[in-house]
Amino acid sequence: MARTARECSPSLSTSQGPTERRPHTPNLTKTQPAASVRVPMQTFVASAIQQKSGPDKAANLENTARLVASAVADGARLVVLPELFSWRGRQSEEKANAESVPGPTSEFVSGLAARHGVYIVAGSLLRLDPDSGRCLNCSLLFGPQGDVVAEYDKIHLFDIDIKGKVTVAESSTRSPGTAPVCAQTELGNIGMAVCYDLRFPELFRALSELGAEIIVLPSAFTATTGEAHWEPLIRARAIENQCYVVAADQYGHSQHGFADYGHSMIVDPWGKCMAEAGGDDSEVLCARLDADYLAEVRRELPSLQHKRLVN
């Protein structure tokens, strides 16, 4: 059912309807070297896709294609899908539904990106980790020719137990990633994070130090934690690192027995919400990411240049 996205400040905004953890030490400092020539960020329209994914992969991908087409029709050049957009089922079924990269889902999104000539963050999908035999929660950035521009494995695993509300143990079936990823593109420098990563400011600062101007955040944030923390954490990460944040979330009840929060958001480097979805429907959010405004915020309040403490 169609609905209108709630806008928090002027923007382009539209909607369309319907255990045991292996020890690890993420590398937050020795990451990709800065490019020798910086490409200036462009001003462009970005989109956050909100959807409800289940165990029917074909239906999920059909819905994804429809929502991406809607975003492109509204002028989007960067489209961000939510976490586990192509398959979301029971933890006991994750390994059986994991894919390789390249594989069916990545090839599908590659075709979408090439057909529309846009960048697409393929939310995340589960791929097998040959070292552990578990799954990695992998986010892929595709370029407008359908090529994989960057690949990021979610570093922080969601292991929580809020009595009577939500219990999750991602580490029982998944392995963590180990390094931040920031991709230099013609649109700007795009830092990659997934869902629970949002609670770890050191990761976002590492992305900032790699030159991130836009941070993408595919998510399946629970309703319980989302109601309390989703918006303030997104705004904080945008303010701290003076960057745009494009956060695409799942919504509605999942087979895990709890509801996802929805309320996908696009936030500017001053921390203003440019567009926000509701919590109970598929939506397509679009907002104009202004390169001049980003430069102005960083020039007038140069906090990134005032850092005194370093890792």
Asked if 283 is an active-site residue, the reply is: no
Asked if 95 is an active-site residue, the reply is: no
Instruction: At 228, list the tokens.
Output: 């309390």
| Extended strands (E) in the chain | 44-50, 76-80, 119-121, 125-128, 135-142, 148-153, 159-162, 166-169, 174-175, 181-184, 189-192, 214-219, 244-249, 251-253, 259-261, 265-267, 273-276, 283-289
Catalytic residue among 57, 94, 138, 154: 154
Instruction: At 132, list the tokens.
Output: 């552990």
Helix axis angle, 223-241 to 201-209, nearest 10°: 30
For 157, other C-beta atoms within 10 Å of its C-beta total: 20
Asked if 154 is an active-site residue, the reply is: yes
Q: What is the pTM of this model?
A: 0.88
Question: Can you name the CATH fold of 44-300?
Answer: Nitrilase/N-carbamoyl-D-aminoacid amidohydrolase (3.60.110)
Catalytic residue among 8, 52, 57, 83: 83
> Distance from CA of residue 124 to its chain's centroid?
8
Catalytic residue among 8, 182, 195, 286: 195
Q: Give, for all 311 residues of the chain, the pLDDT tens digit.
A: 333 344 454 344 444 443 333 334 444 443 443 444 578 999 999 999 999 999 999 999 999 999 999 999 999 999 999 999 999 988 889 999 999 999 999 999 999 999 999 999 999 999 998 888 899 999 999 999 999 999 999 999 887 787 777 777 777 789 999 999 999 999 999 999 999 999 999 999 999 999 999 999 999 999 999 999 999 999 999 999 999 999 999 999 877 667 999 999 999 999 999 999 999 999 999 999 999 999 999 999 999 999 998 76
Residue 285 · residue 291 · CB < 8 Å: no
